[in-house]
Amino acid sequence: MAANMREIVAGGVVILAALAFAIYARQSTGLTTAGKDHYELQASFRSLNGVTVGTDVRLAGVKIGAVTKIRLNPETYRADTTFSIEEGLKIPDDSAAVVASEGLLGGNFIEIIPGGSLFYLEPGDEIEDTQGAVSLISLLMKFVTSSGDSPTDSASGAVE
């Protein structure tokens, strides 16, 4: 009987640990509002490499929301993005949305760079000033392919 009781307790602990992990995963991915009210803003990006639903939206390095919807616009061939922002946080209407990277091995996130306007974005408004993701591989390829092109002749030092 004591062995059965130990198995029941161990099973209960495993179930509680799995439930705690599921709650933590849901909150950390931004798929839940975690008791906070949010409003939605929109932006259209040329490139959203590394950004998916649940990706952080940050201002000054602080998470203020998450990406809630991504859709390819068939007319403009841009990624129309919807993201939630914490209620009560006013974003100036001349702010920019930039796809930023946490580093060489880190993931991407959307950074809001606030403007200086005295007017603020309303729920459902679109951030017009956007900058898409920059591909590190394409930058390296440009550097490698352009490093052989030199405006000077190496033997004489003369400009061609």
pLDDT tens series, the chain, 160 aa: 667 888 888 888 889 888 888 887 776 655 554 556 899 999 999 988 888 898 899 999 899 999 999 999 999 999 999 999 999 899 999 999 998 888 767 788 999 999 998 999 999 999 998 887 776 667 778 878 876 555 554 454 555 4
pLDDT at 24: 77
Q: Are residues 57 and 19 in the same domain?
A: no
Instruction: Judge whether 42 lies within some domain.
Output: yes
Instruction: Judge whether 101 lies within some domain.
Output: yes
Q: Are residues 25 and 41 in the same domain?
A: no
In SS3 terms, 86-137 reads as: ECCCCCECCCEEEEEECCCCCCEEEEEECCCCCCECCCCCEECEEECCCCHH
> Is 0.75 topped by the overall pTM?
no
Q: Are residues 17 and 95 in the same domain?
A: no
Domain span at residue 107 reads 35-134
